[in-house]
């Protein structure tokens, strides 16, 4: 069996949005798609909010364990310029490797970091937030969060 995550995205009359995610195990992608389509129909019938989109993702587990003394609440917050004139954004990378940090500051030209952000640059195919791509990094600093979402689905 293969694990899939189905996420429903809802919108209300005031343009408020929320999402709900669900986990399912299916023999094939076709079986997951069939089950998701049936769930979509039932979700539309059960909610007054508009189900305006959904995602169905195949879960790909990676082998191995986290490094010793790691915490997903230890992040590097990076201020980046977007490929749109004058706009800036923040991206957060959980538990940065030592090679991209000097103390609590990001080394913006460190290989592992530039390789990571190259995936979010023009032409790479991946975008951040509202479909924008990264042009360059201005700065980054370590941030320790006290809590956060640790497990999906909810």
Whole-angstrom Cα Rg for the chain = 19
Measure the N-to-C terminal CA separation of the chain; round to a whole number of Å: 21
Question: Is the predicted pLDDT of residue 79 greater than 90, yes or no?
Answer: yes
Which residues neighbour 24 within 8 Å (Cβ) at sequence distance 6 or greater?
3, 4, 5, 6, 32, 35
What is the pTM for the complete model shown?
A: 0.71
49-63 mean pLDDT: 95
- Tokens 């059960």 found at: 46
Residue 151: is its pLDDT beyond 90?
A: no
What pLDDT score does 146 carry? 67
- What confidence category does residue 123 fall into, taking pLDDT thresholds of 50, 70 and 90? confident
Last residue of a domain, one of 58, 84, 103: 58
Based on the structure, what is the number of domains in the chain? 2
pLDDT at 148: 55
Q: Is residue 112 part of a domain?
A: yes
Long-range pairs for 64-70 at CB < 8 Å and ≥24 separation? Answer: 66/95, 70/95
Q: How far apart are CA 115 and CA 144, in angstroms?
A: 23
Considering the domain architecture, whether residues 140 and 93 belong to the same structural domain is answered as: yes
Task: Compute the mean pLDDT over every residue in the chain, rounded to the nearest whole number.
Answer: 90
Q: What does the pLDDT read at residue 48?
A: 93
- Note whether 53 and 80 are same-domain residues: no
Q: Which of 6, 2, 4, 1 is nearest to 38 (CA)?
A: 6
**Domain span at residue 18?**
2-58
Is 102 a domain residue? yes
Pairing of strands 74-82, 134-144: antiparallel
Cis peptide before 153 (omega within 30 of 0): yes
| pLDDT given for residue 72 in this prediction | 84
Predicted pLDDT of residue 68? 82
Task: Give the residue among 97, 95, 132 at the shortest CA–CA distance from 114.
Answer: 97
> Contact 135/82 with Cβ under 8 angstroms?
yes
pLDDT at residue 16 is higher than 90: yes
């Amino acid at each position: 069996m293969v694990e899939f995550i189905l996420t429903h995205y809802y919108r209300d009359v005031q343009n408020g949005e929320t999402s709900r995610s669900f986990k399912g195990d299916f023999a094939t992608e076709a079986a997951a798609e069939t089950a998701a389509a049936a769930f979509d129909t039932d979700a539309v019938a059960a909610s007054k909010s508009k189900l305006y989109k959904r995602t169905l993702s195949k879960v790909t587990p990676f082998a191995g364990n986290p490094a010793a003394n790691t915490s997903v609440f230890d992040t590097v917050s990076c201020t980046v310029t977007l490929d749109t004139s004058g706009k800036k954004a923040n991206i957060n990378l959980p538990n940065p490797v030592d090679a991209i940090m000097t103390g609590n500051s990001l080394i913006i030209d460190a290989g592992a970091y530039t390789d990571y952000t190259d995936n979010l640059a023009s032409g790479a195919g991946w975008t951040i937030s509202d479909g924008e791509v990264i042009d360059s990094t201005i700065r980054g600093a370590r941030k320790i969060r006290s809590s956060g979402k640790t497990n999906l689905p909810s």
